[in-house]
Structure 1
Amino acid sequence: MTTIRVLEANVSGNKHSMFNASFLKMLSIMPHRGELVFYSEETHKQCIQSFLEKDGDNTIEKINFSKINIVDKGRFYLPFKILFEIWNVSKIFFKFRKDDYLLILTSISQASNFAIKIIKMFFPNTKMIFVIHGELEFLKKHAEQPFMLKMWGWFLKYSFKVKTDNKTFYLVLGDVIKNNMKRYNIVDLNKVLTIDHPCLYNGKTKSIDNSSSVLKIGAIGVASEQKKSQFIFDIGDKIIEKNKSDIQVEIIGKILPNVYKYLRPGVIYSKENIMLDQQTFDNKIADLDFSLFFYDNTYYELCASGAFFDALNHEIPMLGLKNDFFEYYFQKYGSMGYLFNTVDELITFLMSYNKSNDNKYNSFIDNMRMAKKKLAIDNLVISFEAKLLQNELLGK
């Protein structure tokens, strides 16, 4: 049977660790696979193993872990990062060029993506999947887009123009993203596989407490202008203006520099501004009444939201702006919170909200529990393996 080699050449430490752990768990239970090997930097491996140990089911024993070296920090790290990514992929190409295996790149820089596709031309028998996260958004032009993102968009655009063989595919996280790709003529959609964002739903259940006098809402994950995170401070302003001591709003995650200029009182956030450890992150999310999202289609038309699945995992109903991604899942599994056309509508709703009078809140949690069952890894693996077999990326 076909060996699956999964390479994380782009990140270290805790970055992408929940996705990669969930993805590996899914691959580990595929009936029609051979050996499963995961290549990553050492601290990333430790994060993955920690997630899988907590999940149980002896998944770690089904995976062979292999250490690689990457560069992702330092003053002038970027050229070295790209070179190391290309080197780590090329080593696998050369070493296993005579073997039957599927290489899955869980994330890769855009410049490396371009170079790797050129190199891949010399290894036409290698089966390969590029997992696409939020980088498709780089292809869209935004007036406020920084130079670096424009440059990554250029590399990504031309990497898609590199002709690939019939054994090279892309994987996007959701049918809604593949459908939206039609608007941009990015790539032959026959080369695009889809899967819902895998998540290790770990049995967390929301304990409903209507006795608390404080409504706790929070934005989950890294705060950035791309996510429109600055609007959370408009809520803080209104809380101060209306003297709403019964509403507490918090950023649960690191704040990127492009949000610094918006920082104001009324919102709780970490002054140390460091990545939270997983336990603290989970505890803060579990304490929320609502999760808060300002994503719109400006940046979330071609991008899945990991924070959406964090909220789903913890069964925290959502307050957010309407966008294709959220509306797709709300329509598929039922409403899991309130969606609004504008930030002003969201703020107006919050200022008059009374949880004890909300007869929809419990139904949101019920819908989230149903969605978690339908999106469980045991279900995702069935459709994903079928797609791999159909495209001859796995051999029975």
Structure 2
Amino acid sequence: MKIVVADFYRAGKEHYIFNASLVKICTQLADVTAVRFIADSHQTNAYSISHGEEDANGVTLKALTVPAKVGGKHWIKKIGFEIIQSFRLLCASSTEETVIFSSLSPVTSVFVKFFGFLWKGKNVLITLHGDVDFIQQNKTGMRNLLGKCFKASFRIKRKNVKYLALSFPISNNLIKEHYLNSNELFWINHPYFFKKHSLHKEPGKPVRIGHIGVASQEKHTHYIFDVAQRLATYISNGALHFSLVGMAVNISDFSNGYVEGGNTAGEMLSKEQFDKKIEELDYAVFFYSDEHYKFCSSGAILDAINHEIPVIALKTEGFSYIFSKAAGRMGFLCNDLNEMTALIEDITNGKVSKDEYDDMRNTIADYKHQFSIEYVKDQLVGQKGFIDFIKGNR
């Protein structure tokens, strides 16, 4: 059997780790004889450097220039490009090939589902990323429109088109709330290429706690200013330090001088800068709610896991699931900000020992296996109907 992995939406290296991981997973599936990877030239070039232009597993690469700009006429151009390229691929690919869209905008998803009868001889798998969260009712403007597109695509039933969710809780919620049926959906842990890290030193003074990833009101990142203000005495005497690692969006009004960082210029940090700042942290802190992360997974938690940084977070279904799959404790889940503030105060006062801290880091290091290519491949293969679907059966 043959597989095409395509991404006509993500420009540059956006989502490259996921795309490259998905390609590698496909190469390791039994009976797969060829894999094609079609994406932005930045992604195919990076894959070529890492694996060779045509590696031992038979991956062939096709480079495109995906429009990068969004907003206004640029967004229309971007979606138009994606629709045209998707139709070309689906019409031109052979019936022996299963097409996996590693990313697909909700607008193009509607077109792919609506015209599914045109390529009923081949199977299509659409990966659901964070924008599927737009289906929730409290979105406005463009997000509301995109959410409606997702709902429209979900309502169109095609036996040859299924979805791939990036965690079990997301899959479960989509089924539980009747957006999709269980036979329309597969799920995996978000695969990641992890690096090996040596054990971190014992947190010193100050204890460094930071939010990783894009900081926004939607993620409730502004709560960090509240927690920091409650612990202002510790910050002032040099015992505690809070920071934002990444870009900050719509939270500048909450800034109070107790939290460092947060690029408000609308630009992402370079990968090197981003990794360096994460390495400096003793703990990663998150304030997500079930409302926001009901249908999307967090890439930032994977960044924390990659660097083996223990996590402090508000208790949600998603974080509870992640923590439950670890062999030991990988951090702390808090019921509310009061509990989180008290916990951080205890940490600052040395009530978490070096042995406890090292145990958490060891747990996280072991936990990485559950996001490895081999583990995620086994997750897919073990799901009812997946292999038959990839083989072209329905």
So what's the TM-score if we normalise by structure 2?
0.90
Deviates most, 324-333 or 265-274: 265-274
8 Å contact from structure 2 (residues 164, 185) kept in 1:
yes
Of residues 229, 238, 248, the one that matches 1:237 is 229
- Structure 2 runs not aligned, ≥5 long: none
Alpha-carbon shift at residue 34 of structure 1 (Å) = 2.0
Is 1:385 the equivalent of 2:381? Answer: yes
Of residues 162, 169, 172, the one that matches 1:176 is 169
**Equivalent position amino acid for 1:189 in 2:** S
Is 1:218 the equivalent of 2:210? Answer: yes
Alignment correspondent of 1:91: 88
What pairs up with 1:1-396 in 2 under 5 angstroms? 2-48=1-47, 52=50, 62-73=58-69, 75-96=72-93, 98-142=94-138, 145-165=139-159, 167-210=160-203, 212-240=204-232, 243-256=236-249, 258-269=250-261, 270=263, 272-333=265-326, 334-354=328-348, 356-359=350-353, 360-387=356-383, 390-394=387-391
Q: Distance in 1 between matches of 2:170 and 2:132?
A: 10
Q: Distance in 2 between matches of 1:235 and 1:60?
A: 52
Deviates most, 186-195 or 339-348: 339-348
8 Å contact from structure 1 (residues 85, 112) kept in 2:
yes
8 Å contact from structure 1 (residues 32, 395) kept in 2:
no
Q: Are the structure 2 counterparts of residues 355 and 209 from structure 1 closer, same or farther at C-alpha, using a change threshold of 3 Å?
A: farther
8 Å contact from structure 2 (residues 197, 308) kept in 1:
yes
Alpha-carbon shift at residue 373 of structure 1 (Å) = 2.4
So what's the TM-score if we normalise by structure 1?
0.89
**Equivalent position amino acid for 2:347 in 1:** Y
Q: Distance in 2 between matches of 1:181 and 1:175?
A: 10
8 Å contact from structure 1 (residues 129, 170) kept in 2:
yes
Alpha-carbon shift at residue 241 of structure 1 (Å) = 5.4
Alpha-carbon shift at residue 153 of structure 1 (Å) = 0.8
Task: Please report the RMSD computed on the Cα atoms of aligned residues, expressed in angstroms.
Answer: 2.4
Point out 4+ residue stretches in structure 1 off by more than 6 angstroms: 58-61
Q: Are the structure 2 counterparts of residues 311 and 355 from structure 1 closer, same or farther at C-alpha, using a change threshold of 3 Å?
A: farther
Q: Distance in 1 between matches of 2:154 and 2:344?
A: 43
State the secondary structure of the residue aligned to 2:247: coil
Q: Distance in 1 between matches of 2:182 and 2:386?
A: 18
Offset from partner CA, 1:45-101 (integer Å, 9 cap, x none): 345556x46xx9x969753221223323155212111111111111111212x4310
Question: Number of matched residues?
Answer: 385
8 Å contact from structure 1 (residues 18, 200) kept in 2:
yes
Alpha-carbon shift at residue 285 of structure 1 (Å) = 1.2
Q: Are the structure 2 counterparts of residues 83 and 187 from structure 1 closer, same or farther at C-alpha, using a change threshold of 3 Å?
A: same
8 Å contact from structure 2 (residues 225, 258) kept in 1:
yes
Offset from partner CA, 1:149-190 (integer Å, 9 cap, x none): 11111111111111212x221111122222222331001111
**Equivalent position amino acid for 2:133 in 1:** E
8 Å contact from structure 1 (residues 28, 59) kept in 2:
no
**Equivalent position amino acid for 1:133 in 2:** H
8 Å contact from structure 1 (residues 291, 319) kept in 2:
yes
State the secondary structure of the residue aligned to 2:143: helix
Offset from partner CA, 1:267-322 (integer Å, 9 cap, x none): 22235552122122112112211011111101112211111111111110001011
Alpha-carbon shift at residue 235 of structure 1 (Å) = 3.0
Q: Distance in 2 between matches of 1:48 and 1:345?
A: 45
Deviates most, 286-295 or 346-355: 346-355
Q: Distance in 2 between matches of 1:377 and 1:128?
A: 21
Q: Are the structure 2 counterparts of residues 298 and 389 from structure 1 closer, same or farther at C-alpha, using a change threshold of 3 Å?
A: closer
**Equivalent position amino acid for 1:125 in 2:** G
8 Å contact from structure 1 (residues 22, 199) kept in 2:
yes
- Structure 1 runs not aligned, ≥5 long: none
Q: Are the structure 2 counterparts of residues 273 and 140 from structure 1 closer, same or farther at C-alpha, using a change threshold of 3 Å?
A: closer
Alpha-carbon shift at residue 117 of structure 1 (Å) = 1.2
Q: Are the structure 2 counterparts of residues 47 and 252 from structure 1 closer, same or farther at C-alpha, using a change threshold of 3 Å?
A: farther
8 Å contact from structure 1 (residues 9, 108) kept in 2:
yes
Offset from partner CA, 1:327-372 (integer Å, 9 cap, x none): 0121121331011111232123223423743143222222212211
Q: Distance in 1 between matches of 2:372 and 2:311?
A: 20
Q: Distance in 2 between matches of 1:60 and 1:202?
A: 23
**Equivalent position amino acid for 1:79 in 2:** I
